[in-house]
Structure 1
Amino acid sequence: MFDTDNDGLEDGEEVIAGADNFVTHANNSDTDNDGLIDGNEILFIPRPFQHETNPLINDTDADGMLDGWEMQVKSTEGNTNSHSLWVAVSTWDRPGCTESTSNSCLMEPGGYVWINWLGGFELQKKYEVHEMNLSGFDLPGNTLCDGCKGRWALDPSLNSLKDDTYDIDNDTLANGAESPSNWNTNPVDDDTDGDMLPDGWEVEYSYEAINNNLVDNATISAYGARGVMDPSMADSDLDGINDGDEDPDSDGLNRTGLVKKYCPGYNDSTNAECNIDPDTPDGMKFYNNLENYTNLEELQNGTNPVSNDTDGDAWEDGPEVYYMDHDDDGMATGWEYHFEFDPFDGADRLVDSDGDGHTNYCEFKWDTNPRNPISFPGQGELCDPFEGQ
């Protein structure tokens, strides 16, 4: 028998209402153009615990999201990531699993990604229950999983429970807003493009930048982007720098001022010693990092990435945050960020991270490198690590 369009259905099955009870197009693998081949709508559904969809209607449950997009699985051939997130608030059994002393089929509550029939479920849960936004998301007993309290984050089948207005991945974009007709992002991944910025955060401030005339649509469109931070593009302006590392509102610190502070003799050929030398790779990284107050840092500190003075106090965000001391340990937050300390944990003040006999606080006080044992306060540069405490 023949399957002309390679959709899993023999031609004879497509031209009559056969086993699937539908007449579909024998020369078109996806009769309703919903991204789901005809064979996968009823007879060969691409994931477990799933009712069939209608191969003649591209949005079976009429929720504004295409069936194939809601039921999308990982495909190397189609270059797609899975949208199939199984959400369970009770224990459940993996389908096709054989229980043994070395293999448990019982799964804990949480959010699990279904790869495809070849890969099955990822054994490591993507989300804990508390990490998902389940407000109003009904999870009754499901007969398809032997009564477990679980359902797909997106279910395109007829009469399925409502899912378009929910935001399971907690990125502040509802599932419907993530669909191809809108932002075309992954509804079960809070950072679709992997630029360290949540999808909804990128959308919110992209809109603000456009509304405030900070950018124009023509320039953005030329890059194929829909905002200064397109949630489906890691590098929205195609300049080789990920959106998380950009500083669109230019509110970083003044580099020249920093060099003068950390290296007073930087322009004096007879006195050009620096504790953090801007001509070394580490020193250059230090100053360059401070020059930009990036989108990621704005996210971490709750400031606006498209406004250089979020609170309107005439002090730009980058310098204001850098010189803040969030954990009251006497070391500037920005300095702690750079040297990979926790700016919200004051205990690192008294630690000697590089083992040179000087605490991190004393290295901060005298502008030396706390990660380099040959960089430490010099003679006469005194420090009491408990001062001011």
Structure 2
Amino acid sequence: KKAGWGRIDAFADWDHDGLSYTEELFTHETDPRDSDSDNDGMPDGWEVDNNLDPLSDDASNDPDNDGLTNGEEYNWNTDPHNNDTDDDGWSDYEEIYTYDTDPLDPDTDDDGLYDGHEEDWYGTDPFDPDTDDDGLTDGDEIVEGTDPTDADTDGDGMPDGWEVDIFYLDPTDPSDANDDYDDDGLTNLEEYQHNTDPHDSDTDDDEIPDGWEVNHGLNPNDPTDANGELDNDDLSNYQEYNHGTDPNDCDTDDDDLFDGVEVYTYDTDPLDSDTDDDGLTDGAEEYTHETDPLDNDSDNDGLSDGEEVNTYNTDPLDSDTDDDGLYDGTEVNTYGSDPLDSDTDDDGLTDGEEVVEGTDPTDADTDGDGMPDGWEVDHGFNPTYSGDASGDSDGDGLTNLEEYQHNTDPYDSDTDNDGLSDGYEVDHGWDPKDPNDPGSPGVFP
């Protein structure tokens, strides 16, 4: 570059070797028109900057004894007087010809560790920032105290990087694999295996805990499956979770009612096959017996529906199966009578009438006078008073008991109207009920 006609710019670098015109002429005595005055392959400026002789062919010299000639150092832009230009623990020669790392970059893979330290100290790969592919750079592993060559330093099944960078667990503590930090039913190890968040009980925010989803075959990372339905019971997976039912079983309690039907139609418990604890499954109540699965005694007779069906064979929808005036439960629990027999003791009184009369419906002769309760009541006697058995209400010579025994009318002295009193006929061996015995009325032998 000219400053004017016939004048030279003393600070120009005519040969582009890094030295100005005046530096070449007056300081280093190099040729300002030749970038490599000594023709050794290294520009004059580079030699000056690196304390070499630009006037002597010293390209083959190795002043730093690193195995690289000055010419090679120039080609690699390394320092010919420093055998480890980037101070990473490896000589420039080793970086170039042995390890193929960058002799100008102490950390070729930018993982926070010097190249030389990676190979010599830690056994890591200076070209791979995460030698063990665990999600932590080799440098971070050293800081964390983990092994950069072992993806799972504590052997707990969870990679070091997953433990540290993502969820703040301890990569040197194997016991945290069994913890459940978010109380969702999954251990931290299971959270890793299912790619869920160990600090969020509901990773996909579908209002169903991760553990419940995993245990029932749902995807804890898919919020849409909350509205899905696996078992076609008219409950969504979310509703199954809320009701505690199994989304893979349409009838969780095996009572022959679909879970959805129990919840929305009958209001029964889909987790309890016998909601009212009466001994009948909810399905049997609805479909077989037509009883109320929410009322253990549908007919309010004092017997549970199950007792009526399974034990007494009574009608669970009829409080008085035998129509004797007593509830089935009252018969069984109070009087011990048969709820299927209106006259348990066959005394001629229904069990209900016996209760009204104060007699025992299980004893045909409550007062033990030899006359059945029903016969006494029908003939105006007291079935609870034994003394009336010895009376003779019609004065025919037969006691009331004998009248019963002979089936005569205790209020008619001549039951067969043959002119002979009942007692007289009996005393003579005749039939007081047959007017022709012993012959025509009024005719005596």
Report if TM-score (shorter chain) is over 0.5.
no
Q: Where on the TM-score scale, by shorter chain, does this alignment land: which range?
A: 0.3 to 0.5
Higher RCO (CA 8 Å, separation ≥ 6 residues): 1
TM-score normalised by length of structure 2: 0.34
Of Structure 1 and Structure 2, which has the larger fraction of its residues in helix? 2
After TM superposition, the score normalised by the length of structure 1 is 0.39
